[in-house]
Structure 1
Amino acid sequence: MAQCTTQATIGDSEFDRDTAVTRRASGIYDAELSEGWTIIRAVNGGYLLAMLGRALGETLPHPDPFTITAHYLTASRPGPAEIRTETVRTGRTMSTGQASLVQRDETGAEVERIRVTAHYGDLAALPDDIRTSAKPPAIPPYEHCLGPRNGQNAAAPAASPFPGSSAITDRLDIRLDPATAGWAVGQPSGRGEMRAWFGLADGRDADPLSLLLAVDALPPTAFELGHVGWVPTVELTTHVRHRPAPGPLRVSITTRNMAGGFLEEDAEVWDSEDRLVAQSRQLARALLI
């Protein structure tokens, strides 16, 4: 399976630098939202969730997000931000916290961008018992899938640039299943499905924080329903089920219903050992650009 030739370690990658937070006071962190993770004009919601997840990980006594729910209130912009965290409850195996991210608008007024509630625990302490009917998505080999440029894989056709061509595509290594990329050539399937291999462009292996990005990094399923426009997230709940093994992830996202200008997206993330490592559901809006 083809992979990135460079390899960034956890803690030394662009993702880690760009999601870093600096503690200013108890429960208050300074952050800088990087322009490199924007889609059209706004900062990607999964990137924001990972940044708030990092701040909560520094606030709570447990290391890993088990479930985290975000409500996106206003579109975030690149630049300085403040994250405020609060410990709601601590227990022996789980702790609960909440966080919000605020920025200043053009007039200097404070604007809350996103509010999060989360349960944290220790993924390494979970029992090994697994009883499931879930199966990994059937995706063609990496080298037979489509990317914005496809790097050195000149044999495979490249998908068209994502609508509103975005800086985030340079930070990700996404290879779409051709069966879910009809939108890229003006032939959407109408099935509301998106499947892809997923990784970070610098080769950094996945961890629980980058899973929060993975569930919200693929092109919207609305594209395969024939909608080409901005699809901002309204609410996103993510369950992290297992610490992922090294190697590329497989992400599958489906939508069953787009109505009234809103759609749901259900995502599953599988690691290189065929384990379901994360799940999510989000509500998003389908807007024209």
Structure 2
Amino acid sequence: MLDSRHIRTFHEVVNTGSYTAAARSLGYTQPAVTQQIRALEREAGVPLFARDGRRMRLTEAGETLARHAGVILGNLGAAQQQLQALARLRAGRVRLCAFPSANATLVPETMARLLNDHPEVRVELLEAEPPDSLNKLLAGECDIALAFSYPGLRAELPVDLVEIRLMEDLLTVLLPVGHPLSRRHAVRLAELAQARWIAGCARCRANFLHICANEGFDPDIVVTTDDNLALQSLVAAGVGLAVAPSLVLSFLCHRKVTGRALEPHVRRQVSAYVLREHLPLPATALVVEALKAAGAARVGC
């Protein structure tokens, strides 16, 4: 059995290139680093480094371990974070990570329900776009992640995660008030092929390019931002048009911007994601149920 402390020291030696540099980085003495590497070699049963003049080089066994060391340490770190998360959840403290438009709509409604029905649950709010939010969940940096996906662009879900579908969110086009097409109830994207465009986060941009390609044109994207307030101001100023989900229309603040449904209709799936082993815990279950109720209340909005 390899000692994780020795693997961490080995990993630092490989990354820094010497025992001396690794000792400085780890706050050890050089003899302590040497002792740990020797102990690791005894555990492995093979030498991991060989002398090449005044330099150290990895042996074949060392190169093999080096390929795995980062993954091993990453998995250990994630396991530690998830164990700490388990302790927090048992104490009724939940870290909820959501994308910006959900944090401005679904999350406040969820929090209001929780405070009314289960005031003992404490929630810490974080913000990240997918897939970063899902990566935070897998790393143990949050307990529940809200994320969205688009038809035809869904990635395979890691086996450790459970998806709870909350709602479908209709995409709209944001137009400046007075735009010739703003009098319509719905707008076909192909009619705006010559327009300038403002794109959102990486996942939204990929979907936007996908639906534009289906409509037979390549959009002229002049600005990219995931700030929904900046998006509205850019549209109002005439910089470009934007495709935005209906959740954004819920807090559309700019009086010079209006939203119209896209034709053909495109919807993104909004879901909550939880580690499979954490789903039965009372605090997790209560927050998930409140999220489901908030999502259900928005169906048809």
Q: TM-score, normalised by structure 2?
A: 0.22
Name the one with the larger helix percent: 2
Structure of higher CA gyration radius: 2
Name the one with the larger strand percent: 1
Structure of greater relative contact order (alpha carbons < 8 Å, 6+ residues apart): 2
Q: TM-score, normalised by structure 1?
A: 0.22
